[in-house]
Amino acid sequence: MDAQKRGYPMTTDDNKALVQRFYDEVINQKNLAALDQFVSPNAVNHTVPAGLPQGPSQFLGLHLNAFPDAKATVEDLLADGDKVIARVSFRGTHQGAFGSIHPRGKPITVMAINIFRITNGKMVEHWGLADRLNALQQLGVVPPPGQLS
């Protein structure tokens, strides 16, 4: 039983465990129905690019549809107070439309840093930075360095 269910404040270890379970259950098991266990209904994602779905289910659904074999590996988890920082590698094969990018069948690996603020056992804010340029280069959408014309 976690600290929140026992009526105690969440510890940094509890918060890190919540983030790890989020990646395991929602991303790796493709279980968007479990989002409510991890994300507050009023959560704010500060880094969703304009033109992409804003809700967590829609935003993650876009990624999981484009990369149905996606796997997230949590490389590092750091916590301080109510924030958890996750350094994560994502691997997957581009099999579905990703915005305006049609499926290319190419495998990619993308590194990301995500910061979550957690209150009462739920993610209430998110900031993230992913190496999107490298992802676009791996997909062949953007030429690699030295091949720009």
Task: Identify the pLDDT of residue 4.
Answer: 52
Q: What is the H or E stretch that residue 44 is in?
A: strand 39-45
Here the CATH number for the domain that contains residue 125 is: 3.10.450.50
- 144 occurs within a structural domain: no
Give the pLDDT confidence of 79-113 residue by residue, as tens digits: 999 999 999 999 999 999 988 899 999 999 999 99
In a domain, 106, yes or no: yes
Rounded to whole angstroms, the maximal C-alpha distance in the chain is: 61
Domain that holds residue 109: 3-139
* 149 found inside a domain: no
pLDDT score of 1: 44
Q: Residue 6: pLDDT band by 50, 70, 90 thresholds?
A: very low
Q: How many domains does the chain have?
A: 1
Q: Evaluate whether residue 44 is within a structural domain.
A: yes
With respect to residue 120, please indicate whether it lies within any of the assigned structural domains: yes
Considering the domain boundaries, does residue 147 fall inside one?
Answer: no
Strands, E, within the chain: which ranges?
39-45, 71-80, 83-93, 107-119, 122-130
Residue 76 domain-assigned (yes or no): yes
Q: What is the pLDDT of residues 31-76, one digit of tens each?
A: 999 999 999 998 988 886 655 555 677 778 888 999 999 999 999 9
**104: number of CA atoms within 13 Å, CB side?**
15
pTM for this predicted structure: 0.87
